[in-house]
Amino acid sequence: MSADTRVGMPTFRRKHKIHFSECDPAGIVFYPQYFVLFNDLVESWFDEMLPQEGYHGVLGVRRVGMPTVRLEVDFKAISKMGDEVWLSLEVVRLGEASLTLAWACTGVDGVLRMAARQTIVTTSLDTHRSIGIPDDIRRAIETAMAAARE
């Protein structure tokens, strides 16, 4: 499945202005920077879902890792310094020990710039082995999914 074939309601989104530091000498977003932008978006999403501990508490204190195990990306149009875009993620699958997110970077003009599918697995940062998604995190994700459908 191509990364941009999903059409759904974003579970979480933020507006972002493309910065100089995110661009290459051609003046467009250097493609690895999208991965940084979306990692930041996931971190902000967790901070909002779990305000008492946030992403830092999950990883740093609880030692629950969330590595990416699969990533499929389509680049559709360029983004340039100064462009305003929407960065969004949608939970498309919530499994026992993993979740799949659909990412989209869309210009404020509605033009899709980039889309991706990311599979994240929850792990113990002590053993580096897969673990089930902790119950409170699962509930927070399910609540965010339900709110996006409303």
- Band of the pLDDT at 149, cuts 50, 70, 90? confident
How many domains, in total, are found in the chain? 1
Apex CA 150: angle with CA 83 and CA 66, to 5°? 65
CATH for 56 = 3.10.129.10
In terms of Cβ atoms closer than 10 Å to its own Cβ (0-12, 13-18, 19+), residue 29 is: buried
Q: Write down the pLDDT at residue 2.
A: 45
* Residue 46, both tokens: 């967790």
Q: Is residue 6 in a domain? A: no
Q: Is residue 32 in a domain? A: yes
Given a cut of 60, whether residue 3 has pLDDT beyond it is no
- Band of the pLDDT at 150, cuts 50, 70, 90? confident
Residues 80-105 pLDDT 10s: 999 999 999 999 999 999 999 999 99
Q: Is residue 61 in a domain? A: yes
Q: CA-to-CA distance for 19 and 79, rounded, in angstroms?
A: 10
Residues 107-127 pLDDT 10s: 999 999 999 999 999 999 999
- Tell me the average pLDDT of the chain: 94
Instruction: Determine the structural domain holding residue 144 and report its residue range.
Output: 12-149
- Band of the pLDDT at 1, cuts 50, 70, 90? very low
